[in-house]
A = this chain, B = another copy of it.
Amino acid sequence: MKTTFGCFVRERRETLLRENADYSLRKVAGRIQVEPSYVSKIERDQVAPPSEETIIRLAKDLKEDSDVLLALAGKVSSDLRGAILKRPRLFAELIRQMKNAPDRAVLRMVREVRDGKW
């Protein structure tokens, strides 16, 4: 079974709540500026995941990687989308090529580029 957005968020929040009462559903809702009932429905997967902006605020609040949270919501963060849209053919080829490459290989490339080997 796949982890859903809601389950993941609930689990993460309850973990934080165990050692910090500031992570009640209502407190989190307050900080990320949505209604508590909405967070409740989100965590039980009763509604679709929220918007990108709300997911990013939530990720920050829960100290989670926003790319991971966005992925669980089936979304790609808009800065990545922006990069792809500027050079669609190039990135399409890159991603399709890397799709089946093992993590190690992809990481090696990232490192090579970061180290200026181009």
Contact = CB atoms under 8 A, between A and B. Distances in A.
Contact of A110 (B70, B94, B105, B112): B94
Contacts of A70: 88
Interface stretch (A16-24, A42-50, A96-104): A96-104
A90 B118 contact: no
B113 A85 contact: no
How many identical subunits does the complex contain? 2
A62 to B, nearest CB: 16
Among A70, A94, A102, A112, the one with the most B-chain Cβ atoms within 10 Å of its Cβ is: A94
Interface stretch (A6-14, A29-37, A72-80): A72-80
Contact of A84 (B71, B85, B90): B71
Contact of A90 (B88, B89, B90, B107): B107
7 nearest interchain CB pairs? Answer: A105-B118, A71-B88, A83-B99, A67-B92, A67-B88, A71-B85, A80-B95
